Structure 1
Amino acid sequence: MTADAARLITTVDEISPDWVGEVLGRAVSQVEVTTVGTGQIGAVYRVRAPELARPVLVKLPTADVASRALLAGAYRSEVRFYAQIADTVSIRVPKVHLAQMHDDDVAFTLVMEDLDPCAQGDQIAGCTLAQALDAAENLAGLHAPRWCDETLLEIDGLTRNGPDDAALLAEFFTPAVDMFIDGLGDLLSPQTVALLPDVAKVIEHWELARRERFSLVHGDYRLDNLMFPPDGRPGVYAVDWQTLTVALPARDLAFFTGTSLPVEDRRAWDRQIVERYHAALLDQGVADHPLEECWEDYRFAMLQGPLVAVLGCAYGTRTERGDRMFAAMVNRAVAAIADLGTLDLLD
């Protein structure tokens, strides 16, 4: 991912007509640049020009220079996905015009299509069954093309967690559970408070189990990271590829349903969602993976929900909306763990 110095930029002041024209391969006379989002992880700008039929989005490192080193791994993951992997899978993602990163892992530039009028999903509100099925089918487009593909591990930066990683994860997760319960106690269900310590006890074993099936895993596949077409049409896009890894594929699906759907919706729909996902895997060439095995992997993988959400809340910046979101995610995922007997699969 050695960068072309002429095209890699890190500040909004460098988004000039000449630079946009160089990236897009056309003459651009002037640009209008507006900020998108809050810029906590990275700075995103919408760029319009008279010569462009549609605006483009430019994603750059956070303006906080001190934070960039801490975010280098996330930046590298996203650039790696768009530059080296996106063309090898069939999941629907934004078209990217430029994906470059400097060797120092901090300076990067992404230029991609603007998905407007698609709308971001709402992690707290949930979604319709049609949207959930669309998201599951799209997810199969990430997993199926590289299903059990050993060459994934030849890509610099992509690895599978081993015993040392699992032990370190457990070391961080156990105190994070205590911090999470102490900090969000009033927002958590009694079931969550009672069951989360049991999840912490088995997380190291869980991390190393079911290694016979693996593929690319988004790692944070949920409604806030999905863009849905207007009017309920199918064709969802997945964004934010900063947590890409190699692991049990069902982790993504369990994380999506377990954290994104209100409990009653998930109870009513999850078998149907798994069936749609499984059918899409088969359609894209996955063999020797019967439906019941897929369902068991889905049940087993449900610990992905509290794992990611608890760590994200405990070690991230607290906000009012973030507290409500993380509480909803974990309450939902813990209910799914109980409903599906996930912990029984780890005995």
Structure 2
Amino acid sequence: MTTHLPAEIPTDISNVTPDWLTALLRARGYDDAQVVEVDATPVGTGQMASSFRLALRYATPCRLPDTMVAKLATGPAAQREFGSGAFRNEVRFYRELVSTFRVPTPAVFATICSDSGSEFVLLLEDIADGRQGDQIAGCSADEVRSVAVAAAGLHGPRWDDTTLLDDFPLPTPDDCDVMESLLDPMTDVFRSRFTLNAAQSSVVDWLVRDAGPWIRTPAEHFALIHGDLRADNVMLRGDGSLSILDWQTITTGNPLRDIAFLLATSLTPDDRRVHERRIVTDYHHALRAWGAALSTPGNQSSVLDYTFDDCWRDYVDNLIQAPLIIVFGAAAAQPTDRGDTMFSVMLERTAAAVADLDPERLR
């Protein structure tokens, strides 16, 4: 019976064959799995990796589902090398970290990643009864509220947990130097690809001017953050439940970076203006609930001392997460018509959010 991991890691879905899947699944403990047929259909709108729904037929019934989603690094070697750190992050999240949080994610059946990180495959639960959020159309206020409350299950359980810093340290001065050195070239690439209106251009100017001081400011509180929490990275079900996808950009930082990015980019400006305070309030309540639930006598979570005023201040102060991810994400992703439309819409919504909440930043 096969127990060793496959020697090669596919970078093209055509190489995810029945024999290859059988070897991976058996190496991950599914000894009764023998895949004899696989049919792959593209799903999702990933900007850095590709996802496919696999319809599987087994030699005999086993304890695995008939469909799952394969996520893998595709494209030219240089592009995969550029994304290798992100790929390692996602594999590590599913292998080692997900069980320490209370955030809804797809179940994971198997993972494999090269030492370089340039090649990886994840075999994940197929959420066939859900629909992916649409970044361009945006989500409803109730949907975004559900995502924000779910994110509290990522931030609350390990709020200010210093053991996170062993593997995901807060930015060092050298890290900040590197990021600052990339701001000008990344924004030059962005401006060369997109025709920006005055409001969008002002937000990019703000990013270049203030991202350095922002990233250098020590975080008063920190948690593991998703880093790219937005509509496209969520599967929504009809019963109101959801799963958060795409854990490639995890890092430690102020948790409100996730919430600011989510609301600024996934709601229309009109919906955000009406509902954002309610959503941040509900997120704050959920955050404190996790702190209360997971505290023990004599070891009370510091999140219980985190007031709503603190939360709202951090929400506004971390709006810069949105242009940062938009500009760097556009530079890292393969250009597509949908992707270009998406980044433009996200930047337009961000410009409106900053103008509403912190207009002095656009001076």
Query: By the TM > 0.5 criterion, same fold?
Result: yes
Within 1, Cα distance between the matches of 2:46 and 2:89?
A: 18
Task: Select the residue among 104, 114, 117 that pairs with 1:92.
Answer: 104
Moved more, 295-304 or 97-106: 97-106
After superposition, what is the alpha-carbon deviation per residue over 1:22-41, rounded to whole angstroms, capped at 9, x for unaligned?
24342436222213247863
Gaps of 5+ in 1: none
Within 2, Cα distance between the matches of 1:105 and 1:222?
A: 24
Aligned-pair distance for 1:253?
A: 0.5
Matched, 1:152 2:156: no
* Pairs within 5 Å for 1:158-173: 158-173=168-183
Give the structure 2 partner of residue 271 of structure 1: 277
Within 2, Cα distance between the matches of 1:145 and 1:255?
A: 21
Cα separation, partners in 2 of 1:83 and 1:20, compared to 1, 3 Å: closer
Task: Select the residue among 174, 187, 190 that pairs with 2:198.
Answer: 190
Give the structure 2 partner of residue 105 of structure 1: 117
Give the structure 2 partner of residue 240 of structure 1: 246
Aligned-pair distance for 1:165?
A: 1.9
* Pairs within 5 Å for 1:1-347: 5-6=4-5, 10-11=9-10, 12-16=15-19, 18-19=22-23, 22=26, 23=28, 24-28=30-34, 30-37=36-43, 41-45=48-52, 46-49=54-57, 51=61, 52-62=64-74, 64-155=76-167, 158-185=168-195, 188-230=196-238, 233-285=239-291, 286-341=303-358
After superposition, what is the alpha-carbon deviation per residue over 1:83-135, rounded to whole angstroms, capped at 9, x for unaligned?
11100000000111122323333343322111112111000101112111110
Within 1, Cα distance between the matches of 2:33 and 2:258?
A: 41
Cα separation, partners in 2 of 1:219 and 1:29, compared to 1, 3 Å: closer
Contact 2:104 / 2:242 at 8 angstroms: preserved in 1?
yes
Cα separation, partners in 2 of 1:39 and 1:278, compared to 1, 3 Å: closer
Gaps of 5+ in 2: 292-302
Letter in 1 for 2:348: N
Q: Secondary structure at the match of 1:112?
A: strand
Cα separation, partners in 2 of 1:40 and 1:199, compared to 1, 3 Å: closer
Within 1, Cα distance between the matches of 2:337 and 2:116?
A: 34
Q: TM-score, normalised by structure 1?
A: 0.89
After superposition, what is the alpha-carbon deviation per residue over 1:231-257, rounded to whole angstroms, capped at 9, x for unaligned?
xx3211111111111111100000011
Cα separation, partners in 2 of 1:174 and 1:104, compared to 1, 3 Å: closer
Cα separation, partners in 2 of 1:104 and 1:21, compared to 1, 3 Å: closer
Moved more, 61-70 or 290-299: 61-70
Letter in 2 for 1:225: N
Q: TM-score, normalised by structure 2?
A: 0.85
Letter in 1 for 2:234: L
Aligned-pair distance for 1:180?
A: 2.8
Contact 2:110 / 2:123 at 8 angstroms: preserved in 1?
yes
Moved more, 32-41 or 288-297: 32-41
Aligned-pair distance for 1:263?
A: 0.9
Q: Secondary structure at the match of 1:49?
A: strand
Identity %: 34
Aligned-pair distance for 1:199?
A: 3.0
Letter in 1 for 2:48: I
Cα separation, partners in 2 of 1:6 and 1:198, compared to 1, 3 Å: closer
Moved more, 327-336 or 61-70: 61-70
